[in-house]
């Protein structure tokens, strides 16, 4: 019998059946989503807006139990434990994203952001991808002036090595590679980076940088509350479009699980960026914790008051304690 006309075996029949079932299920999901779910959400929002014209229509999409959360007990716990310490200066900002309720500790305490500064630079680079000025597959070259061996491994690459924009963004954000950061920064116009800050209402930072003497190191110190604006913008897609905000956050979800991550269950998604400035004894971590139906933004910046290096495990324990306290409260509050 010709191999082209062999009878189908029971196994092949089963595979075909499974494929057919899979296609039917996929079609059913699409029909439900576009014919029932999305129109239902629109209808619910429209009814809410008609009934309560002075209220935020998105409130119709959030369960009441997730809206009416009292954060005063958490505020008191954090203030008592971390606001006034003899060993560390701590700047902390928490924001409950469904409602905007927030907590600030030492709200005027400005601390070096260290590698957190990579976020606005990467946002400016991603904006060029969004507008089509750059393509993710475009390549940039590593020059000697870009090389920095403090963080990352790209400094080991020969001068003249080219890497794609996509690779450089991943290295800068997920791996905090300094060389990738400096390659991106060198290829941005000053106006493109300024645009990120001014769009987010941080134009005073740009003004201060322009007035600073060129021979002195740029003073990038910032409070946890003001730094959090970058992550709020990414979450709400107010600077980058939803597609490119999602791409940006998707890179950050692969950042190492350290500092605040230590206080979170492993199944909880934490999209974040850490920063370390050794000479100033600074440690920082900022990002969005995706508790189901209760996402929140948390930025914590610490600096040893006496300028000495933290004892091994000491600062990590503080981050873990803070993170666990916040997560437990948000997840269990009723």
Assess whether 210 and 236 both reside in one domain.
Answer: no
Q: Is residue 292 domain-resident?
A: yes
Residue 18 confidence (pLDDT):
65
Judged against a pLDDT cut of 90, whether residue 234 lies above it is answered with yes
Q: How far apart are CA 170 and CA 252, in angstroms?
A: 8
Residue 219 confidence (pLDDT):
77
Average pLDDT, the chain: 88
Mean pLDDT of 260-286: 95
Assess whether 263 and 322 both reside in one domain.
Answer: yes
Q: Is residue 132 domain-resident?
A: no
Q: Which tokens is 44 given?
A: 């619910």
Does 309 or 106 have the greater pLDDT score?
Answer: 106
Ramachandran angles phi, psi of 259, nearest 5°: 55, -110
Assess whether 197 and 292 both reside in one domain.
Answer: no
Q: Is residue 133 domain-resident?
A: no
Does 35 or 303 have the greater pLDDT score?
Answer: 303
Residue 283 confidence (pLDDT):
95
Mean pLDDT of 134-145: 97
> What share of the chain in percent tops pLDDT 90?
69
CATH number at residue 242: 3.40.710.10
Residue 39 confidence (pLDDT):
58
Q: Which domain holds residue 44?
A: 3-61
| Residues forming a β-bridge with 271 | 288
User: Which of the four pLDDT bands, split at 50, 70 and 90, describes residue 6?
Assistant: very low
User: Which of the four pLDDT bands, split at 50, 70 and 90, describes residue 205?
Assistant: confident
Q: What is the DSSP string of 114-161?
A: GGGGHHHHHHHHHHHHHTTSS-TT-EEEPPGGG---SS-SGGGSPTT-
Q: Is residue 126 domain-resident?
A: no
Mean pLDDT of 304-310: 88
Number of domain units in the chain: 3
Q: Is residue 131 domain-resident?
A: no
Q: Which of 32, 61, 90 is the last residue of a domain?
A: 61
Q: Which of 41-55, 64-78, 129-143 is predicted least confidently?
A: 41-55
Q: What is the DSSP string of 36-78?
A: IIHHHHHHHHHHHHHH-TTS-GGGGGS-HHHH----HHHHHHH
Q: How far apart are CA 173 and CA 181, in angstroms?
A: 8
Assess whether 178 and 272 both reside in one domain.
Answer: no
Judged against a pLDDT cut of 70, whether residue 4 lies above it is answered with no
Assess whether 87 and 163 both reside in one domain.
Answer: no
Assess whether 230 and 216 both reside in one domain.
Answer: no
- Pair 295, 65: CB distance under 8 Å: no
Assess whether 104 and 225 both reside in one domain.
Answer: yes
Q: Is residue 127 domain-resident?
A: no
User: Which of the four pLDDT bands, split at 50, 70 and 90, describes residue 24?
Assistant: low
Assess whether 238 and 334 both reside in one domain.
Answer: yes
CA dist 197 to 113, 204, 263, 264, 291, Å?
15, 9, 31, 31, 29
Assess whether 322 and 241 both reside in one domain.
Answer: yes
**DSSP at 6:** P
Q: How far apart are CA 51 and CA 127, in angstroms?
A: 38
Q: How far apart are CA 245 and CA 272, in angstroms?
A: 13
Residue 7 confidence (pLDDT):
45
Give the CA angle between residues 169, 238, 322 to the nearest 5°. 70
Q: Is residue 134 domain-resident?
A: no
Q: Is residue 129 domain-resident?
A: no
Q: Which of 29, 44, 61 is the last residue of a domain?
A: 61
Residue 141 confidence (pLDDT):
98
Assess whether 56 and 176 both reside in one domain.
Answer: no
Q: Which of 190, 205, 220 is the last residue of a domain?
A: 220
SS3 call for 287:
strand
- Contacts of residue 133, Cβ cutoff 8 Å, sequence gap at least 6: none
State pLDDT tens for residues 55-104: 877 778 788 888 889 999 999 999 999 999 999 999 999 999 999 999 99
Assess whether 230 and 309 both reside in one domain.
Answer: yes
Closest CA to 111 of 255, 16, 19, 222: 222
Assess whether 215 and 226 both reside in one domain.
Answer: no
């Amino acid at each position: 019998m010709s191999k082209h006309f062999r009878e189908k075996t029971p196994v092949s029949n089963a595979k075909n059946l499974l494929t057919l079932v899979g296609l039917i299920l996929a079609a059913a999901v699409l029909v439900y989503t576009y014919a029932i779910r999305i129109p239902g959400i629109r209808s619910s929002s429209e009814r809410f807006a008609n009934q309560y014209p002075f209220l935020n229509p998105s409130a119709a999409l959030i369960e009441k139990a997730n809206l009416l959360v009292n954060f005063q007990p958490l505020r008191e716990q954090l203030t008592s434990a971390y606001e006034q310490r003899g060993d560390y200066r701590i700047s902390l900002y928490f924001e409950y994203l469904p409602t905007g309720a927030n907590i600030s500790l030492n709200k005027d305490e400005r601390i070096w952001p260290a590698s957190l500064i990579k976020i606005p630079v990467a946002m400016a680079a991603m904006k060029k991808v969004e507008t089509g000025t750059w393509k993710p597959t475009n390549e940039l070259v590593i020059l000697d002036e870009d090389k920095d061996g403090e963080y990352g491994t790209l400094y080991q690459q020969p001068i003249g090595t080219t890497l794609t924009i996509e690779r450089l963004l991943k290295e800068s954000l997920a791996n905090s590679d300094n060389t990738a950061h400096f390659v991106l920064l060198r290829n941005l116009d000053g106006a493109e980076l300024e645009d990120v800050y001014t769009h987010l209402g941080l134009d005073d930072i740009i003004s201060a940088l322009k007035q600073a003497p060129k021979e002195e190191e740029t003073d990038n110190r910032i409070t946890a509350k003001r730094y959090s604006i970058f992550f709020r913008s990414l979450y709400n897609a107010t600077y980058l479009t939803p597609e490119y905000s999602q791409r940006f956050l998707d890179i950050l979800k692969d950042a190492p699980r350290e500092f605040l991550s230590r206080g979170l269950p492993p199944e909880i998604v934490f999209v974040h960026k850490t920063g370390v400035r050794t000479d100033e004894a600074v440690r920082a971590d900022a990002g969005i914790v995706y508790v189901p139906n209760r996402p929140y933004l948390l930025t914590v910046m610490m600096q040893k008051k006496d300028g000495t290096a933290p004892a091994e495990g000491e600062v990590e324990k503080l981050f873990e304690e803070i993170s666990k306290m916040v997560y437990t409260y948000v997840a269990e509050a009723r």
